[in-house]
């Protein structure tokens, strides 16, 4: 069987998602029998040229240069998979979209004129067609592996898209919202993490971003009943996936 | 069905019953307090069995306080009889299929309330003889039920005719009345369990008290609608605007499906594994989930209100046609564990009130 030629790219991001490939310590050797990391700067010095069967793309697009590169990635790859909160919604650095980026540059860099940025940090899907998304901050290595294995079997890869609540209940967690009054974004957040945070008694931070057809305004009414102030509610949404369409709406409403 | 009529024993006889079931080799599942919530778990000793604790339930809220009488927590027998995740079969690298053999287990539910007993009766109609895992556990299942002397804030078993007193299908039913335990055997095993206790036929005074307590409990667990003609009335009002109104507070999170003791819908996941094999896994699903109504070529319930309406009508109308019983047992879990506290009782009442076009 011909190996799947894979490229792993990063844009504006922390490397945490691509690192999840390397965190597959028990499976990586076996996996390398089926896939070839033709381009994976974080893992190997060797760089194989395109075209690639699959490109995994981490990070958001925040500079003009990145726009050029992501377009090239699209041209060179049969399948483009956006991995992680940055590549699917803009990520943490999209928080700068809510501020004045020119002003920031003045504070941070001694020669701000050297720094070229776009007005917004946004997911690659803003500029190119993305075939699949794997959510999370970071992505779960189990999901990453499951995705790759499904591709290898010739199956159309599917990942869970229903609420975190479903995974919480399957796992046998007690609802932190109903039983403890802890604000939790689980009821509007896409599952796939296995309800990681509520499993440790914490509310969901929404790092997988909104599920299909979420109802944040309904959940916010619950939060208000718990005594949360509008600014506190806004901060719950102003996190990992703040630039996703549905969360953005909430943040704007409370701005 | 009672085999014996009612007997009375000392309240501390419960521990003896527990030990006897253990001695007979049963794995006992009962309520235990874990992190401030009643959980259904395997119990090794009677000390672990929850006591002197009460669950305070209201729409969207759950808490425990000390003392009093408890009903239940988020878990129902479904978690054991129809587990949230179950491997159906595996296919090896060489394409050989194998089904896992389910370990024979003699399970005994201890202290279940009548609503949860009723949920097993409902699941029997759906799964018995159909689902292998369920059937294997159900065959040897022992049911020791506690009659509900004090229904909680979201309970409506009297309306659904499932409680507060268990009428059949149990092995042994008990009722705590102060320092006395009123017992009723419903099977040969139940009779055998009675034999290990010091029991007397119930005296008139205790019987009267028992009747009063049950009657009062029954009054507390009413939803405010009647079952008489309910399926027809609801179907007649299928266009009711109430569903859309109520759904304005619905998150579509499917918590109601997950905690419902009779919701049996599932999804099937084909999962390739790293060693070249693959497995087919069944997981709990629910009609409130967006993907539930999604099929090749389209979606038959893309609107949340239509999904919620399906949940309500399935429980109270379609279930009757499908399985000859209501799908709802009145346990109130979907009300308590709904993050926004949507009250099924209120929805049904509003739909009925609204008239044909309301």
Low-confidence ranges of chain B (pLDDT < 70): 1-3, 355-358
pLDDT at position B226, please?
95
Q: How close A108 gets to chain B, by Cα (Å)?
A: 41
B72-100 pLDDT, tens digit per residue, is 999 999 999 999 999 999 999 999 999 98
The alpha carbon dihedral of B272, B278, B284, B286 has a sign of: positive
Yes or no, beta carbons of A165 and B286 under 8 Å apart: no
Owner of token pair 């970071």: A138
Yes or no, beta carbons of B291 and A145 under 8 Å apart: no
Yes or no, beta carbons of B35 and A165 under 8 Å apart: no
Number of Cβ within 10 Å of residue A178's Cβ equals 26
pLDDT at position B301, please?
95
Q: Where are the alpha helices (DSSP H) in B24-110?
A: 78-81
pLDDT at position B102, please?
80
Query: Is residue A246 scored above 60 in pLDDT?
Result: yes
- Position A197 confidence tier, pLDDT thresholds 50, 70, 90: very high
A202 and chain B in contact, CB less than 8 A:
no
The rounded distance, in Å, linking the Cα atoms of A57 and A35 is 16
Yes or no, beta carbons of B251 and A215 under 8 Å apart: yes
Yes or no, beta carbons of A174 and B79 under 8 Å apart: no
Give percent above pLDDT 90 in chain A.
93
How far is the CA of B226 from the CAs of A93, B314, B347, in angstroms?
A: 56, 17, 14
Q: Whole-prediction pTM value? A: 0.95
Q: Are A75 and A8 in contact (CB under 8 A)?
A: no
B305 and chain A in contact, CB less than 8 A:
no
B32 and chain A in contact, CB less than 8 A:
no
The alpha carbon dihedral of A155, A156, A157, A159 has a sign of: negative
Query: Is residue A45 scored above 90 in pLDDT?
Result: yes
Identify the closest residue of chain A to B35 by CA–CA distance: A174
A54-106 pLDDT, tens digit per residue, is 999 999 999 999 999 999 999 999 999 999 999 999 999 999 999 998 888 89
pLDDT at position B355, please?
57
What ipTM describes this predicted complex?
A: 0.93
Closest CA to B86 of B140, B35, B32, B137: B137
Partner residue opposite B289 with nearest CB, options A27, A152, A166 = A166
pLDDT at position A53, please?
97
- Position A240 confidence tier, pLDDT thresholds 50, 70, 90: very high
């Amino acid at each position: 069987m011909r190996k799947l030629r894979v490229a792993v790219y990063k844009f504006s991001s922390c490397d945490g998602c691509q690192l999840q490939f390397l965190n597959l310590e028990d499976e990586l050797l076996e996996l390398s029998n089926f896939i070839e990391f033709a381009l994976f700067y974080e893992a190997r010095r060797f760089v194989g040229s395109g075209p690639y069967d699959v490109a995994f793309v981490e990070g958001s697009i925040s500079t003009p240069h990145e726009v050029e590169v992501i377009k090239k990635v699209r041209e060179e790859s049969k399948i483009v998979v956006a991995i992680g909160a940055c590549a699917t919604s803009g990520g943490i650095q999209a928080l700068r979209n809510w501020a004045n980026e020119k002003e920031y540059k003045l504070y941070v860099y001694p020669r701000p004129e050297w720094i070229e940025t776009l007005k917004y940090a946004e997911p690659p899907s803003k500029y190119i067609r993305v075939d699949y998304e794997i959510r999370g901050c970071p992505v779960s290595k189990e999901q990453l592996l499951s995705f790759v294995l499904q591709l290898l079997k010739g199956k159309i890869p599917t990942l869970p898209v229903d609420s975190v609540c479903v995974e919480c209940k399957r796992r046998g967690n007690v609802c932190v919202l109903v039983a403890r009054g802890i604000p939790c974004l689980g009821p509007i957040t896409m599952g796939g993490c296995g309800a990681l945070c509520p499993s440790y008694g914490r509310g969901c931070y929404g790092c997988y971003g909104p599920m299909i057809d979420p109802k944040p305004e309904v959940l916010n009414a619950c939060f208000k009943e718990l005594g949360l102030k509008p600014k506190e509610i806004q901060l719950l949404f102003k996190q990992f996936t703040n630039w996703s369409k549905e969360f953005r709406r909430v943040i704007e409403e409370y701005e | 069905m009672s085999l014996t009529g009612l007997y009375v024993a000392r309240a501390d006889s419960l521990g003896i019953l527990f030990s006897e079931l253990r001695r007979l080799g049963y794995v006992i599942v009962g309520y235990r307090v874990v992190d401030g919530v009643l959980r259904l778990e395997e119990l090794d000793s009677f000390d672990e069995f929850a006591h002197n604790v009460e669950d305070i339930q209201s729409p969207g809220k759950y808490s425990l306080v000390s003392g009093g009488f408890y009903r239940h927590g988020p878990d129902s027998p479904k978690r054991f009889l129809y587990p949230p995740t179950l491997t159906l079969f595996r296919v090896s690298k060489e394409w050989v299929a194998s089904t896992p053999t389910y370990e024979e287990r003699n399970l005994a539910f201890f202290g279940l309330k009548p609503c949860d007993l009723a949920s097993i009766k409902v699941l029997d109609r759906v799964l018995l003889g159909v689902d292998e895992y369920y059937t294997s556990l159900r065959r040897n299942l022992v049911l020791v039920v506690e009659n509900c002397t004090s229904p909680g804030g979201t309970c409506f078993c009297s309306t659904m005719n499932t409680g507060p007193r268990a009428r059949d299908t149990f092995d042994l039913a008990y009722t705590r009345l102060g320092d006395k335990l009123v017992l009723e055997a419903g099977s040969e095993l139940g009779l055998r369990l009675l034999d290990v206790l010091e029991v007397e036929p119930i005296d008139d005074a205790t019987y009267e008290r028992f009747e009063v307590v049950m009657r009062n409990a029954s009054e507390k667990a009413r939803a405010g609608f009647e079952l008489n003609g309910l399926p027809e009335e609801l179907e007649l009002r299928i266009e009711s605007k109430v569903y859309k109104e109520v759904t304005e507070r619905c998150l579509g999170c499917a918590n109601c499906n997950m905690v419902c003791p009779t919701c049996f819908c599932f999804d099937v996941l084909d999962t390739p594994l790293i060693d070249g094999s693959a497995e087919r896994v069944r997981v709990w699903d629910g009609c409130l989930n967006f993907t539930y109504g999604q099929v090749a070529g389209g979606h038959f319930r893309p609107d949340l209100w239509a999904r919620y309406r399906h949940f309500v009508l399935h429980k109270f109308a379609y279930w009757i046609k499908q399985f000859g019983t209501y799908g709802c047992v009145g346990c109130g879990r979907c009300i308590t564990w709904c993050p926004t506290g949507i009250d099924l009782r209120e929805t049904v009442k509003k739909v009925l009130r609204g008239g044909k076009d309301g």
